[in-house]
Amino acid sequence: MSDSDRHWLYLPRWVEDNSDDPAMQEFLPQLKNHLLARVLGRSFDGDEHAFSDMDRSYLRFRNERMYFHQTLRVNYTTYDMRRDQDVINPRTHSDIMVHAHEDDTDSSDRHPYWYARVIAIFHAYVRYDGHTLTAKTQQSNEYQRMEFIWLRWFGRDLESPGGFETRRLHLVGFVGQNDTAAFGFLDPKEIIRGVHLIPAGAYGRTKELLAPSQLARREEDKDEDWERYYVGIFADRDMFMRFLGGGVGHSGSTYGWVYSKVTTSTTLNQDNLFEPKLDRAELDALIAELEGSETAAPGQSEAPENLDVKDEDGNQSTDHKEDPNVEEELIEFGYGSSSDEGDARDLEGGGDGGCDGDDNVDDFDDADDADDELEGFGRL
């Protein structure tokens, strides 16, 4: 997240101007509960900690401002111990995954992750003047910068099981607006990475989950939501390994959960999971054929390398000709090029995990982008 303080909202006026938006119900109490829990050193367990009105009144925002950002960069370690980065943008790539904090750890249908859609990215300077200050906060009463994201939670469809056992993708859908857990706040450090959620077209769209909202939906959504989304576990290799388990870079995440689900399946057996389906002779013959060896499979003749044909004059020719355009086409599609520039990754920020340190790079390219983002936050 950028260190810039250029783009800000005056919190009391912004809350009042958007008070009729359904996404703003309990916005300020939920925000203060979230920030108070972090100031007092309480860890995230999925449930927002409850505080009294008096406790919340002791939380101060410097100049009553929140500062918003267009993007958030999340660094993570891949399954093969490489560093990678996802860019979270509320207007384009806004879906994220975090570790689940399930109440019933023995349940057979528990799931390792929770999913949410980022509505906005903020930071603020806060101070708590209450009587329950911890030793950490007693050292200084100065305002401290706190980063947080405002999001809309997805819930898992328990009636449509997914995973390796069922050979189906997991189904999720937005939590209804009448549920207190429909919206919330999150420390960016809790984000694992972005996630690919695929609209399940067969379930259609609905307006029942949320009344018309200028803040919680994109303009192109036209006040509707997809009823269900599939979790794209095959988005890339790292994402697949997070569900399969066993990735070295994912140590301590979901290995035990998924490994037990796979190996106890009635259709998969640990002993013969990687057993070849061909016998040794058939494998040797296949390898020989693929390598162009003179040794062919038993009972089969070796295919000719080139097919000889004759033209009208009786001259012998072959249908195998070198095409000068082949090399150019291969290079165009990323093959045969001697340059390594396409393999380079530009990972800004660095770090071992969580959100990045953006080196004070502003999120917006120009003032017009900032104006567009302000319009996305309702009436200002």
Residues 167-204 have pLDDT tens digits of: 999 999 999 999 988 999 999 999 999 999 999 999 99
Does pTM surpass 0.85? no
Please determine, for residue 366, whether its predicted confidence score (pLDDT) is greater than 70. no
Q: What is the pLDDT of residue 348?
A: 41
Q: What is the pLDDT of residue 236?
A: 92
Q: Which of 131, 102, 107 is nearest to 40 (CA)?
A: 131
Please determine, for residue 140, whether its predicted confidence score (pLDDT) is greater than 60. no
Q: Is 297 left (phi over 0), alpha (psi -120 to 50) or beta?
A: beta
Cα 316 to Cα 310: distance, rounded to the nearest angstrom:
5
Cα 55 to Cα 227: distance, rounded to the nearest angstrom:
38
Q: Are 249 and 78 in contact (CB under 8 A)?
A: yes
Q: Read off the pLDDT of residues 88-138 as tens digits, 9 standing for 90 and up.
A: 999 999 999 999 877 655 556 678 899 999 999 999 999 988 765 554 554
Residue 183: how many other CB atoms lie within 10 Å: 24
Q: What is the pLDDT of residue 287?
A: 74
Q: What is the pLDDT of residue 50?
A: 77
Handedness of CA 90, 7, 365, 186 (dihedral sign): negative
The widest CA-to-CA distance across the chain, in whole angstroms, is 103
Cα 312 to Cα 331: distance, rounded to the nearest angstrom:
37
How much of the chain, in percent, has pLDDT values that exceed 90? Answer: 43
Cα 354 to Cα 363: distance, rounded to the nearest angstrom:
18
The lowest-confidence range among 259-263, 287-291, 327-331 is 259-263
Tally helices (H) and strands (E) across the chain.
Answer: 9, 18
Q: What is the pLDDT of residue 249?
A: 75
Please determine, for residue 152, whether its predicted confidence score (pLDDT) is greater than 80. yes
Q: What is the pLDDT of residue 295?
A: 45
Please determine, for residue 370, whether its predicted confidence score (pLDDT) is greater than 60. no
Q: In this structure, what token pair is assigned to residue 233? A: 């576990």
Q: What is the pLDDT of residue 70?
A: 93
Per-residue pLDDT, averaged over 278-289, amounts to: 72
